[in-house]
Amino acid sequence: MRYIFGPVASRRLGRSLGIDLVPYKTCSFDCLYCELGTTTNLTSERKTYSVPQKIIDELKGYLKKPALQPDYITLGGSGEPTLHDHLGTIIAEIKKLTSIPVAVLTNSSLLDRDDVKEDLLRSDVILPSLDTVSPSLFTFLNRPHPSLDLKKIIQGLIDFRKRFPGQIWLEILFCRGINDSEEEVRRLQEVIREINPDKIQLNTLDRPPAEDSVFPVSREELERIKKFFGEKAEIITGSLPEDARGSTADRKKRIYNLVKRRPCTFDEVSLALGIPKMALMDLIESLKNEGKVSQRLHNNQVYYQGR
């Protein structure tokens, strides 16, 4: 499948069926920490990056005989989904096909735009990110397209919350020595209080980042930060939930599709795809011998990545 991947186990969404609306690494940010690597097409232009009907046809095919029943259909995976100018139409068409709730992963960069807000109103859950409220840190950490303005992004989140009846789960990804100071956390606390999300999800790096100069904060540090945000806050880094098993015949393809989109440890692949570890060992070795998968050491853990 070209646009659909999974279902995969997600810390935030359970079993998630992903849909890529834009080409790989087409994004309005080029975040230092991005697990997908450096952005190859840095843009803030909304346009038709893929044909909506082809996406819907592919989803129709999957839903006729789903290998696994997903908890959510999730827009976003390899790029920023709000860049697609038919986002609202795609969400509406998905909802005609299934009662499975639609979630959208977004870096929040285009939420100041009225057309983006209108599109997102059709979804059930929005998972925006906001890593900093300081313009200098925003430029350094998120490396946004020059046309983007942090104040407008924050105001866009505030305005969208007032209109959106669904769930907003706001993610903050902390990097050691960059956006984890008490001063910055207090600034975030103040702004997020005004945004009023349903959940505040605290995260840090746990896969190889785009740049080797960024490092995760400790679990203890996340616990300390969590206290600033109160009852809505939760730490989402850690073990993935167990997913159901796929059929033996398509396991290699599913492994490849998973690690092609993001680097994963052996245990993460096993949990995400429900493949027993003894069987997975042979499958990964076979993919490596075929030249489809490589491995990389990061933080004393081996990660597998599709080529």
Together in a domain, 216 and 67:
yes
Q: Considering 212, 244, 276, which residue would you say is the last residue of a domain?
A: 244
- On whether residue 144 sits in a domain, the answer given is yes
Together in a domain, 298 and 193:
no
- On whether residue 303 sits in a domain, the answer given is yes
Together in a domain, 173 and 220:
yes
Together in a domain, 111 and 148:
yes
Strand ranges (E), 65-128 = 72-75, 102-106, 125-128
- On whether residue 249 sits in a domain, the answer given is no
In this structure, of 3-7, 98-102, 127-131, 302-306, the range with the lowest mean pLDDT score is 3-7
Question: Sign of the CA dihedral 75, 81, 85, 88?
Answer: positive
Q: Considering 244, 273, 293, which residue would you say is the last residue of a domain?
A: 244
Together in a domain, 264 and 124:
no
Mean pLDDT of the chain: 91
Together in a domain, 193 and 277:
no
Sheet of 72-75, strands arranged across = 4-10, 14-19, 72-75, 102-106, 125-128, 167-174, 199-204, 233-235
- On whether residue 41 sits in a domain, the answer given is yes
Together in a domain, 177 and 279:
no
pLDDT of residue 10: 83
For 98-132, write each residue's pLDDT tens digit: 999 999 999 999 999 999 999 999 999 999 999 99
Together in a domain, 291 and 221:
no
Together in a domain, 54 and 180:
yes
Neighbours of 111 (CB within 10 A): 24
- On whether residue 251 sits in a domain, the answer given is no
CATH of the domain at 176: 3.20.20.70
Residue 115 φ then ψ, to 5°? -65, -35
- On whether residue 252 sits in a domain, the answer given is no
Determine the Cα–Cα distance for residues 30 and 34; give it in Å rounded to an integer: 7
Together in a domain, 157 and 288:
no
Together in a domain, 115 and 21:
yes
Q: Considering 244, 277, 293, which residue would you say is the last residue of a domain?
A: 244
For 28-42, write each residue's pLDDT tens digit: 999 999 988 899 999
Number of structural domains (the chain) is 2
- On whether residue 129 sits in a domain, the answer given is yes
Together in a domain, 235 and 298:
no
**266 lies in which domain range?**
258-307
- On whether residue 36 sits in a domain, the answer given is yes
In the chain, the percentage of residues whose pLDDT exceeds 70 is 94
pLDDT of residue 242: 42
176, 182, 184, 185 alpha-carbon torsion, rounded to 10°: 90
CATH of the domain at 302: 1.10.10.10
Q: How far from 236 is each of 168, 201, 303, CA to CA, in Å?
A: 15, 6, 20
pTM: 0.80
Between 198 and 35, name the one with better pLDDT: 198
